[in-house]
């Protein structure tokens, strides 16, 4: 299974998970079957952040580890069949270990509410945050 993790960059801080997608200069793509890593600049995956879920599916990436995400984006990713896992801190290697040991639990949406995540100061109603939803 391929997992995408937004990181600060692919050189000096490639092991530091960013707070949100918009903060990332690079993505780490981790393959949990082969235990391999690949780092890409964000624009190598897609030129438009709004199309990221489509780009992920095209590359066979069906999981994302993220620290924070607006509620509307969580709903969109979930509807696209992409599992979201809330990162525990910002250390890439620690989160990969937790993922491999199945200690990161995917976000779920129950009755329109998201569980297990920091919601970037958004509530479940659109327009209550600065996400542009």
The lowest-confidence range among 11-15, 59-63, 118-122 is 118-122
The DSSP line for 42-93 is HHHH-S-GGGHHHHHHHTTEEEEEESB--HHHHHHHHHTT-EEEE-SSSBHH
Bigger pLDDT: 62 vs 115: 62
As a whole number, the mean pLDDT across the chain is 84
**What pLDDT shows up at residue 110?**
66
pLDDT digits (tens, 9 = 90+) for 78-108: 889 999 999 999 999 999 999 999 999 998 7
Band the pLDDT of 131: cuts 50, 70, 90.
Answer: very low
Band the pLDDT of 125: cuts 50, 70, 90.
Answer: very low
pLDDT digits (tens, 9 = 90+) for 30-44: 999 999 999 999 999
pLDDT tops 50 at residue 124: no
Distance from the Cα of residue 35 to its chain's centroid = 18
All residues at 6 or more sequence positions from 73 whose CB lies less than 8 Å from its CB, including other chains:
21, 131, 133
All residues at 6 or more sequence positions from 36 whose CB lies less than 8 Å from its CB, including other chains:
30
pLDDT tops 90 at residue 71: no
């Amino acid at each position: 299974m391929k997992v995408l993790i937004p990181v600060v960059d692919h050189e000096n801080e490639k092991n530091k998970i960013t707070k949100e997608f918009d903060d990332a200069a690079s993505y780490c793509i981790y393959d949990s079957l082969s235990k391999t890593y690949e780092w890409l600049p964000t624009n190598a995956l897609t030129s438009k952040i709004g199309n990221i879920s489509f780009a992920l599916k095209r590359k066979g990436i069906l999981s994302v580890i993220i620290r924070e995400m607006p509620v509307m984006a969580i709903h969109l990713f979930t509807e696209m069949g992409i599992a979201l896992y809330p990162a525990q801190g910002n250390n890439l290697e620690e989160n990969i270990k937790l993922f491999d040991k199945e200690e990161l639990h995917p976000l779920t949406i129950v009755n329109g509410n998201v569980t297990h995540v920091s919601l970037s100061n958004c509530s479940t109603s659109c327009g209550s945050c600065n996400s542009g939803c």
